A = this chain, B = another copy of it.
Amino acid sequence: MRTALVQNDPAWGQVTENIDQIFGLMSKEKASLYILPEMCYTGYQMRSKDELEQLADSVESENIQRFFRWSKENDAAVILGFPERAADGRIYNSSIFIMPDGAFNIYRKSHLFYKEKLFFEPGNTGFRVIEWRGLKIGQAICFDWYFSESFKTLALMGADLIAHSCNLVMLHCQRVDFARAIENRVFIATVNRIGDEERDGEKLHYTGQSVCVDPLGNYLIDAPKTETGCFAAEIDPALSRDKNLNKYNNLFQDRREIFYKNIH
């Protein structure tokens, strides 16, 4: 499946313009699946719960419905990060997987980073794998990468590809994705934004360099650090479903769960 990583540069709070920018970037590559960063059209650096209340969207909101329409019109799925207002009013740092027929899946970030803990509810969905057009896709958001259990859980659930929406301010994740890919024999798409965001004197620099790593650890995509773009790669599930490392070793069968007792 041809999959595109959309590396954008949103302006804080300029929601409509940011979505226009995203659609412009997406139009540059024809793909079946587009993956976008965390909080991709709002900006990231909330300063208060009130600000977040202003920007949070429900699935039915016009902003999210624009992506549903785009998906249908282009017959392609879109996975994007956004601040989600749930039916009960709680706000999550979420990723929505939108399919052309209007189906969708919401994943809510399990591991909140830094000041997100002040503003967002901890994710309550857990990890899930969605099969779409023959590819099994798991969603994850930014800091989830730090906990190897996140991607391992998705791999054990059968994921071929982990759609990992990020707002990374360091380059550690892009480096560790080599490990995450080979230890799980999955494709990983870490999609990051670029640019700076300065609010009340606190400046965050986003590191770009979105990467797509194949199950053998090859970097199929290694995007620039300071330019927006849409970068596509082919995801072949035959590669992610072969968990044999050699004639004697199988990644899943060789696990010694009895010795991992204290992980769960």
Contacts and interface: CB of A to CB of B under 8 A. Distances in A.
Interface of A: 110-115, 117-118, 122-123, 126-127, 143, 146-150, 152-153, 156-157, 172, 175-176, 178-180, 182-183, 217, 245-249, 251, 254-264
Contacts of A172: 182, 217
Contact of A254 (B111, B178, B258, B261): B111
21 contacts: A110-B256, A114-B246, A114-B247, A114-B248, A117-B248, A118-B248, A123-B256, A146-B182, A146-B183, A146-B251, A147-B254, A147-B256, A148-B183, A149-B259, A149-B263, A153-B261, A153-B263, A157-B262, A175-B179, A176-B178, A179-B179
A143 B254 CA distance: 11
Nearest to A118: B248
Contacts of A258: 126
Copy number in the complex reads 2
A179 B146 CA distance: 9
Contacts of A118: 248
A105 to B, nearest CB: 15
Given A152-B149, A258-B126, A183 B176 contact: yes
Nearest to A183: B148
A249 B179 contact: no
Given A110-B256, A113-B248, A152-B260, 5 more contacts: A114-B246, A122-B256, A146-B251, A153-B261, A178-B179
Contacts of A111: 254, 256
Nearest to A143: B249
Contacts of A115: 248
A153 B183 contact: no
Contacts of A143: 249
Contacts of A117: 248
